[in-house]
Amino acid sequence: MEIPRHWRLQKQRYGLVGEICPHCNAKIFPARDICPECGGEAKEPYRFSGRGAVYSYTVMNNAPAGFERGLPYTIALVKLDEGPTVTAQLTDLGEKKVKIGMPVEMVTRRLKEDGDERGMLIYGYKFRPVMG
């Protein structure tokens, strides 16, 4: 069981909350202790819009423990509109063919099953194609 480490990341996982640097206004995700742009200390929370575009993607055919049920699944590097890139699964794809550059938006989904059927379910962000 890994409850504490997932609990402390709730805001980041559920709300895509990162940081904005008080020194240079760089938007940072995931949160870190030192701003990668200016080297100042970064502490101020910032909620990202959840919109972005696919920078790259791959389809996983072998899964680590806790992900087997989702096979095969698509993972992307998503470049957020505000600048940073995140690693996330793509979801709700239906028949849609993924392309680099495709606009996507964040949704909250089940990420992983921790342990057996009595284990914890871990939720967090995934991205789906922008509708319409």
Partner 1 sequence: MEKVYIAGIGQTAVGELWERSLENLSAEAILGALKDGGRPKLDALYVGNLLASAASGQANLGAKIADNVGLTGLETTTAEAGEASGAAALRLGYLAVKSGYVRNALVVGVEKCTDTVGSGAESMIAHGIDYDFEAVQGLTPLGQAGLLMARYLDVYKPPREALGALPILAHTNAANNPNAMYSKAISSETYMKAGIVSDPLNMFDAAPYADGAAALLLTSDEKISRKAGKEAIEIRASSGSIDALALHERPDALAFSAVTVSTQKALAQAGVGWKEIDLFEVWDAFSIYGVLSVEACGLAAWGEGWRWMMEEDHSPMGELSLVTMGGNKARGYPLGAAGVYQAVEAVLQLRGGAGANQVHGAKIALTQALGGPASNVITHIFSRS
User: Whose Cβ is closer to partner 1: residue 9's or residue 38's?
Assistant: 9
Minimum separation from the CB atom of position 91 to partner 1 (A):
11
Q: Which residues bind partner 1 (CB under 8 A)?
A: 5, 9, 30, 36, 55-68, 70, 73, 75-77, 84-89, 100, 111-112, 122, 124, 126
Q: Rounded to the nearest 5 degrees, what angle is found at the Cα of 103, between the Cα atoms of 102 and 106?
A: 125
Given a contact cutoff of 8 angstroms between Cβ atoms, the answer to whether 24 and 38 are in contact is: yes
**Burial of 64 by CB count in 10 Å (0-12 exposed, 13-18 middle, 19+ buried)?**
exposed
Beta strands in the chain (DSSP E): 17-20, 27-28, 44-47, 51-60, 73-80, 85-90, 103-114, 120-129
Minimum separation from the CB atom of position 17 to partner 1 (A):
13
Minimum separation from the CB atom of position 43 to partner 1 (A):
18
Q: Using CA of residue 20, residue 21, residue 26, residue 29, what is the dihedral sign? A: negative
User: Whose Cβ is closer to partner 1: residue 5's or residue 118's?
Assistant: 5
Minimum separation from the CB atom of position 33 to partner 1 (A):
13
User: Whose Cβ is closer to partner 1: residue 97's or residue 118's?
Assistant: 97
User: Whose Cβ is closer to partner 1: residue 44's or residue 68's?
Assistant: 68
